[in-house]
Structure 1
Amino acid sequence: MNEVSQEKRRLLVKVSTLYYMDGLNQQEISERLGISRPQVSRMLAAAKSEGIVQISIRNPYSEEQMYERAVAETFGIHDVIVVHVPEADRQTMELHVARAASALLESAIKDRDVVGIMAGRTIASVGREIQHVGRKEVKFVPMIGGFGADGGAWHANTNARVFAENFRGRHFLLNAPAVVASAQAREMFQSEAEISKVLEAAKKVSLALIGIGQVSEEATIVKSGYFSEEEMNGVRDQGAVCNISTSFLSAEGERVHYDGESRMIGLSIEEIRAIPNVIAVATGNDKVEAIVAALRGKFMDVLVTDMETAKALLEWQRNHPAR
């Protein structure tokens, strides 16, 4: 190594030490050494490429991240967060998944964002884990009407309120049921100015948080009493395996049209897909087919789930390839 190269290398070591060991930022190094900030950036990059800087990350989440990449690449979505708590029961696992989703939201939500919130117990769990992080003028909007008249703690209105309270933001109220008696009743509700205003706001949110429902007697829409088991069986007979908001999906991720959708008040699956950033939270073997359907339809940008569910998603895709 000639003297010029040696001195260049010495400077690379010095800049790297100031940045990685002493904690100075690039602007501070620029001012200290009289080097432009872009040049500092290039020198740090050169130090890594020449092996002067070797970064080692102690990663306790390598297995989870392996499944995150596998699910994201298999289904072509932006990102997946996989949570693993060995030997945890379902309730404990769902709590940890809710915490992971809340941490993601706390990072994703920016000042003055308007965030769409879906109904469901999973979404309610995420809301309870949300922490205030100092964002300004954030609003939360319910994306579907209410199920039942019992003031359930998982209605979209209630979920939006909990998120707003914990985030110290504001929330809208959608004063309409999720399912009404007829298409005419739906038109009447949606013609009301306040209801129309909330639905339009929900369509324009920058970020949405949704759950994924299976098509069975355990689905929220059945347990709430708004859909009978016979109606759910009818939708299933038409090929539906997944329920999101007012829409049902086939195993291939395509919308299944059914008589009851003309009586539902809330965003359709196409309106949800048009939202710039959709985060879905879902776990459990009973929802694997439904989650795969939603993934195939590209109705989310990010999925938050647990490791066992992630493994089951990949296995289901292998054993039931899309037609």
Structure 2
Amino acid sequence: MSRHDKKLDQAARAAWLYYVAGKTQNEIADIIGVSRQAAQRLVALASEQQIVTVSISHPIADCMDLASRLQKRFGLAECHVVPSGGLDEDSVSRMIAVSSAEVMAQYLRQEEPQIVAVGSGRMLRSSIDALPELDRPQHVCVSLIGAIASDGSCTRYDVPLRMAEKTQGKYFILPAPMFADSKEDGELWRSHRLYRAVIDKSEQADVAFIGIGQVNENCPLCEDGFISAEQLAMLQQANVVAEVLGHFLADDGSRVDCELNPRLTSGLLQPQTHKNIIAFAGGKEKHRAIRAVLNGSWISGLVTDEDTANYLLSAG
């Protein structure tokens, strides 16, 4: 890499930190390991070289290399890695959300009508919030997962409506709780005409965007009321480390057999997938969960961060 390219790399990193992570020039100087004056010049250089427009257009070589290695290692169709060295978890999440929004926009800007399937969760919601307004009423957004908790409440992180607001398109929610009260109740929900209509549409999706949940003391499903503390303990005892669309996975990526499985109403997800399913996830707390999903080849694309990428490549 030439000296000029290295300088642009540093300028792009500084731009991510300044414009996306919201770091001050003093903080950028500490993170990159340069003086405050040098950090100021790097931010200015990013603007002068038109690296910063609406998005940061100059990729960072280290991140590109990590993405390429992840693609090869896990057989991904696409992968994007954002810088995260020296950043707190909130800043890393913001970086991933911005990069994820760029990935989604590539599909949503298309003129040809698209069926876009979506999961739920904080990261996915943040990514959709980072999307620009797009006038694409021809696109359809379909939910892959029921957003109703056991007490009848709905999660704040249900996202089909929010995406439809961004595109001005039609959206379809999955008319069912995430987990039915029993196996028999699950069969009733899944046999309903409206449920079948939405599931059939989701199976025709051109692309699906999903999150990845960790199964630990900070398990999102438990925090949002979809499973109880007792059920979480049962999952942990069964060595579950990841959750994706309500499917529970072990470290090796295999689906764990548990009493919640026949009660799940979300769209079908299969290991060794050939579908266009892109996950947005990162941060230290999700390391094992992301690795499990990749081990089982449940997704075809990933947007994550540097530290997570290094963990995934170094893990046995």
For the aligned pair, the TM-score class normalised by the smaller chain equals 0.7 to 0.9
Does the 8 A contact of 1:246 with 1:267 survive in 2? no
Q: Secondary structure at the match of 2:196?
A: helix
Task: Note the C-alpha offset of 1:107.
Answer: 0.9
Q: What is the rounded CA distance, in whole Å, between the counterparts of 2:291 and 2:99 in structure 1?
A: 21
- Which structure 2 segments of 5+ residues have no match? 1-56
In the TM superposition, 1:85-96 aligns within 5 A as 87-96=86-95
Q: What is the rounded CA distance, in whole Å, between the counterparts of 1:254 and 1:152 in structure 2?
A: 27
Give the structure 2 partner of residue 35 of structure 1: none
Moved more, 277-286 or 231-240: 231-240
Kindly provide the CA deviation profile for residues 146-203 of structure 1, in whole angstroms up to 9, marking residues without a partner as x. 1434443202xxx001011112211012221101211111122222211221122122
Q: What is the rounded CA distance, in whole Å, between the counterparts of 1:93 and 1:239 in structure 2?
A: 27
Alignment RMSD: 2.2
Give the structure 2 partner of residue 142 of structure 1: 143
Q: Secondary structure at the match of 1:273?
A: coil
Q: What is the rounded CA distance, in whole Å, between the counterparts of 1:300 and 1:193 in structure 2?
A: 28
Letter in 1 for 2:145: I
Give the structure 2 partner of residue 152 of structure 1: 155
Give the 3 Å change call, closer, same or farther, for CA 272–118 of structure 1 in structure 2.
farther
Task: Note the C-alpha offset of 1:272.
Answer: 9.6
Give the 3 Å change call, closer, same or farther, for CA 147–313 of structure 1 in structure 2.
farther
Moved more, 83-92 or 140-149: 83-92
Q: Secondary structure at the match of 1:208?
A: strand
Give the 3 Å change call, closer, same or farther, for CA 217–97 of structure 1 in structure 2.
same
Does the 8 A contact of 2:272 with 2:296 survive in 1? no
Q: Given the two structures, how large is their TM-score scaled by the length of structure 1?
A: 0.74
Give the 3 Å change call, closer, same or farther, for CA 248–60 of structure 1 in structure 2.
closer
In the TM superposition, 1:110-259 aligns within 5 A as 110=110, 111-135=112-136, 137-148=138-149, 149-155=152-158, 159-259=159-259
Higher normalized helix content (fraction of residues): 1
Does the 8 A contact of 2:147 with 2:176 survive in 1? yes
Q: Secondary structure at the match of 1:259?
A: coil
Letter in 2 for 1:257: D
Task: Note the C-alpha offset of 1:133.
Answer: 4.1
Does the 8 A contact of 1:203 with 1:272 survive in 2? no
Give the 3 Å change call, closer, same or farther, for CA 74–186 of structure 1 in structure 2.
same
Give the share of equivalent positions with the same residue, in percent.
Answer: 25
Does the 8 A contact of 2:137 with 2:170 survive in 1? no
Aligned length: 257
Does the 8 A contact of 2:271 with 2:297 survive in 1? no
Give the structure 2 partner of residue 279 of structure 1: 278
Q: What is the rounded CA distance, in whole Å, between the counterparts of 2:210 and 2:100 in structure 1?
A: 11
Task: Note the C-alpha offset of 1:231.
Answer: 1.6
Does the 8 A contact of 2:190 with 2:196 survive in 1? yes
Give the structure 2 partner of residue 28 of structure 1: none
Letter in 1 for 2:307: E
Q: What is the rounded CA distance, in whole Å, between the counterparts of 1:130 and 1:303 in structure 2?
A: 17
Give the structure 1 partner of residue 107 of structure 2: 108
Does the 8 A contact of 1:117 with 1:208 survive in 2? yes
Does the 8 A contact of 2:247 with 2:261 survive in 1? yes
- Which structure 1 segments of 5+ residues have no match? 1-57
Give the 3 Å change call, closer, same or farther, for CA 85–271 of structure 1 in structure 2.
closer
